[in-house]
Chains A and B, each alone.
Chain A
């Protein structure tokens, strides 16, 4: 009950702290720039989001968006190959990038006094990237190594398979960003050039700056460095990401060298900007927000059948996945784990959640937002994500308010809407090479549990 009083007070202070901090503008060539002033530490984070991800690839070039992210570190006429990272490092900064289904993001984090360097680098590689056979071949080998490294971990390999299975073959999400190695081997310099020309342009990008900066100075830098870059004239439309309703539950059975059984369960959910996502996020906190959450209490604490369970809604531009996994004891049957999780979900569908659970979840989400605010890069990421998801970064500012409006009825409704059998994708992973003796021991162990 006490918490109920605290939340509005905190909410108010968070909202007030934001007021006037964030500004934005759009250059004539279409580059959207978002600036958040944060003067606590002399640091700035620069995120450049390109609206291109693996879902934009077509058959024959699967993996190109991610390969291209690698190529973006290989140099321009003014920043030779191998010098990009050094330039940032010389001032104490760091840079990196990531590619998802929907987007490719380039990050710099550096002392605020050196902000201009990030502008030089990003503007330069947006228009002057050198693409040649030698660097393409080298980066292709590096991506192969990345893929081999991921595949060496048996669970990581199966997570990728699970995610690929969550949509029908041919859907833009049917391949993860790492792509198909055989297709990547045939990608040519000409394809890369065409990909670059098409997607790496100001009218397909959002620049987010968070840190110890003055908006006027940022605006001047943006105009100086990005203002003259031409728009992409042949920016393709986003592919159709919609999915037909699932007709039946899918269950995948896998063997793995991982010595403990694992089950993945996921329900298809709507795109990130759908109104139901807020309630699903709150519900996720109730189901798997720590040891006191419903699933952990049931699987780990009460029934003592799992070592660990967790989950999160995987949201994206197109349909996402309400994802859970449990790591459990070898003598427990996968069906038992699945039915126990479903039993907990059914309770919510029938009875909703308690006021106390709702308040706790909302407080957890609010606290996470407050802790996030220490980090310029986390804020830049959240603002960029809101802009790309909703088309308006201001949605980030109102997120807590929207979480606080979620009611028990909302949660019951979304649970009944999405947690339905035909909407479920399950993967049970069992350890391979279990000999007869070990199986017998497990059986005996289960009898004495």
Chain B
């Protein structure tokens, strides 16, 4: 055996030799050899009370089985996670859980992703031996979005520890003792008013804590889990969109220790209904001289657009972008503005009064800027205009007599005369608002939930997201639509994939230089944000 580097400890787990840093727990060391030791109370983001007793493993020489979650590795240790003793321990503990756990899996929201279900199925007894009546606690409304099913609780106390250690607001506790122990709130104060309590539903290993919003909405096994990035603020929490029937049913955080660890805020968690909205523009619309619109195929529509563009006398462009559009979309818009004759691009974005910081993991906050790609827009030289509620600021655009391009801004505060004087008014969006009434071309584009792309978060981290929903009708990603126009105008090539669109961007924009979809992977990388960049999104200092 080669000497392990200093600070490393070599031990044997289930016959596999493994070298891990000193201080690693047996549970984490076992992961290195592909063994997931069953556990309930341990969570990587919380303290370890070692009280569920599921992770007891056999350590040669130790008089008693050791809890893998808190026992640290020792040189030459021989650990058995699947010895008869370890298996018998787990079988015993699982049987104890089932003495009082109701078998209401058919109506339990957690069913299908429940750790008790999984472990019992894998390692539990085939038949229970308890003939005694079960203890009954009933349900409790914990306030906020959380409903508590006391009977299902396995008393791992993850929720209590999350509120106390991560949210740092002790709203939950264990009351009583023995098997009368139950999680409870304090008097009439529930979780109301806390901003991260949705996480306790995620970390509950069973169906004791469930989301009211998701209650009885979908079965776990019917949901596909699509990796994405939360678009509700500039933090850029890594999330999964859980989808059934082409509708997002719920949002769950996806682990990324650099951004959001295992957590996300309740604001982002519940901000997904807009992705499911119908009432979408489903085909390219072209307005004729009489003001009526006509649906066309993409090819015809783009040809008509280019034809009209050719006839515009004032070729200066005024574009309105959106901080909710991807880097690729914004990059293609910037290229189009250049190809048409140049001009300036502005965007508007909502800004909240305060940041909401997760005290136990202060890297994560609901940022003031309520859009995911503010930093990306600014890196592309787009100017933020308007007020904190994303209104106003478009005086220079609304009566512009050259070319007006709007991408993703619904222009809700503008009236129908917006762009009425433009030689060419192109509106790219998901929904047709009142202000698009004068647009000569209304082009349907996808939301971030329907396309692949990247956002640049408040600290300049470029993060990929993936399509979770099928786009409606003929809607296409904006980078594809805009890229096709650019290709026609410049006789260049067109990007056929989001990856190629990003490659084009990284060639053109210094901040993204050297980055590719491969190098970003699922965790992202930090762009070269120029020092002193205004980065309005880093509301931290504001």
Partners in one complex: no
Residues of B within 8 A of A (CB): none
Q: Which residues of A approach B to under 8 Å, CB–CB?
A: none
